[in-house]
Structure 1
């Protein structure tokens, strides 16, 4: 059953050194506040999993928290590359990091397999692709019924998954509206899950037909963190802060500039600071 608590306590109780952790979000509802709290608590030796690593993984990698990343795309959306990730891979700064790259289809199927309690995902994919030459976890199996050769990858079963959502009700059910990525499967595949939300309400009214509802029994902790996905957007609450993504490319390009920004905006900040950052965006949503 979901436990309502502060973000600080939720991270302390559910994310540990050496964990396999997923901070999932697709285009919007990216759990920036949760990632920042993990940075403040100094977690290390993490294996980070995500379909589309962007700014938060760049920040966590640059802070030396990550030993491995499993992903299907890495970049600053709409801007370019992730400079801290690239520095870690090419120059081993702040320390060496292993990468395991997949396709989007492989990651989505791997999460679904994990949510289903299966050891691997089997699907049609990677035909004519060379990615399997550099990723030994991309393999082939032969269907025992048809003889068709299919792709297989290990299932994704995080120790903990973090997501951001619009609402939770007081029972602990979680409402996700707008573009839905792999958040549901990532939560169901994990041993523990932490959900930050814009607000806690009595009931869900006028739910959009595209909405996803996670039941309280699937969630470990819920934290009310208004603005917790900034600079990504939260459908119905605030728009994407495009300027922040453009700014990040410059910040991350220099190691000293990166460390100074992280000190001012993450290490010395609090979850409550997110609320003031999105006030103007809320007005223009």
Structure 2
């Protein structure tokens, strides 16, 4: 059952050095506040998992939190590259970074398999690519009904899933809406889960298309107003496009990034 905690306490209790950690969110509800707290607590040797790594993973990689990245696409949306990620891959700065690359469909199927308690997911995909030859979590399976050879991907079961949502009630039930990506699947697949929310309310009023995560699938809920900024939280605030552009200049330069990092972690 979910417990309502401070973000500092929740990260300290749920995220451990060496864990596989999935901070999910697609274009909006990206858990920036939680990622920043992981940086502040100097978590190390993490395997970061996400379908679309963007600024928050660039920051965590640059801060030395990650030793491996499992992903399907990475970049600064609408702007360009993730320069801290590129520096780690090309020059091992600040620490070496391994990568495991998949397609979007492959990652989604891995989460669904993990959430379903299955050992692998099945899809038509990866044909004509080199990824199966370089990724040991991609294989093939023969359909027992048609004989067709299909791609098989190993289930994802992160040690910790972290997502951001619009709100939760006082019992720890969570409600999110808008573009929800694979947040639900990540939480259901993970061994432990943390949800940051804009607010806690007495009653979760119905919202069309909303996803409801019951308290019993969540370990901790932490109130973090603005916790998705500079991405957006539908119904609460818009995307800060200027911040994404500004990050490109900061992330290109180690000294500028180091100054940003020092300011972030300063007491």
Give the shorter-chain TM-score range.
over 0.9
Matches within 5 A, 1:83-162: 83-162=83-162
CA deviation vs aligned residue, 1:94-122 (integer Å, no higher than 9, x gap): 12111000000000000010011111111
In the aligned structure 1, how far is the partner of 2:151 from the partner of 2:80? 30
Instruction: Tell me which residue corresponds to 1:272.
Output: none
Please state whether the residue corresponding to 1:248 is helix, strand or coil. helix
Instruction: Tell me which residue corresponds to 1:276.
Output: none
Please state whether the residue corresponding to 2:193 is helix, strand or coil. strand
Instruction: Tell me which residue corresponds to 1:212.
Output: 211
In the aligned structure 1, how far is the partner of 2:91 from the partner of 2:143? 42
What is the CA distance between 1:180 and its match in structure 2?
Answer: 1.3
In the aligned structure 1, how far is the partner of 2:83 from the partner of 2:145? 46
Structure 2: runs of 5+ lacking an equivalent: none
In the aligned structure 2, how far is the partner of 1:194 from the partner of 1:6? 11
In the aligned structure 2, how far is the partner of 1:95 from the partner of 1:14? 23
Matches within 5 A, 1:259-278: 259-264=258-263, 266-268=264-266
Structure 1: runs of 5+ lacking an equivalent: 270-285
CA deviation vs aligned residue, 1:48-99 (integer Å, no higher than 9, x gap): 0000000010011011111100001100011111000011111111121110
Please state whether the residue corresponding to 1:252 is helix, strand or coil. helix
CA deviation vs aligned residue, 1:132-184 (integer Å, no higher than 9, x gap): 23323221111122111000111110100100000001121100011110000
RMSD value, Cα: 0.9
The TM-score, its normalising length taken from structure 2, stands at 0.98
What is the CA distance between 1:22 and its match in structure 2?
Answer: 0.4
Please say if 1:56 is aligned against 2:53: no
Instruction: Tell me which residue corresponds to 1:255.
Output: 254
What is the CA distance between 1:199 and its match in structure 2?
Answer: 0.3
Instruction: Tell me which residue corresponds to 1:183.
Output: 183
In the aligned structure 2, how far is the partner of 1:124 from the partner of 1:217? 34
In the aligned structure 2, how far is the partner of 1:140 from the partner of 1:86? 31
Please state whether the residue corresponding to 2:252 is helix, strand or coil. coil
Instruction: Tell me which residue corresponds to 1:79.
Output: 79
In the aligned structure 1, how far is the partner of 2:33 from the partner of 2:140? 39
The TM-score, its normalising length taken from structure 1, stands at 0.92
Aligned length: 267
In the aligned structure 2, how far is the partner of 1:246 from the partner of 1:131? 31
Please state whether the residue corresponding to 1:12 is helix, strand or coil. helix
In the aligned structure 2, how far is the partner of 1:127 from the partner of 1:210? 34
In the aligned structure 2, how far is the partner of 1:129 from the partner of 1:209? 39
What is the CA distance between 1:127 and its match in structure 2?
Answer: 1.8
In the aligned structure 2, how far is the partner of 1:106 from the partner of 1:83? 25
Instruction: Tell me which residue corresponds to 1:275.
Output: none
